[in-house]
Amino acid sequence: GQQVMQIPQYQHVQEGEDFTTYCNSSTTLSNIQWYKQRPGGHPVFLIQLVKSGEVKKQKRLTFQFGEAKKNSSLHITATQTTDVGTYFCAARLEAAGNKLTFGGGTRVLVKP
Contacts (CB under 8 A) with another protein, residues 37-76: 41-45, 48, 50
- In the complex with another protein, the residue whose CB is nearer, 3 or 77, is 3
Residue pair 87/96 in contact by the 8 Å Cβ criterion: no
Q: With contacts defined by CB under 8 A, name the span among 54-62, 64-72, 75-83, 87-95 that binds another protein.
A: 87-95
**Applying CB under 8 A, does 88 fall inside the site for another protein?**
yes
Distance CA 65, CA 31 (A): 9
**Applying CB under 8 A, does 102 fall inside the site for another protein?**
yes
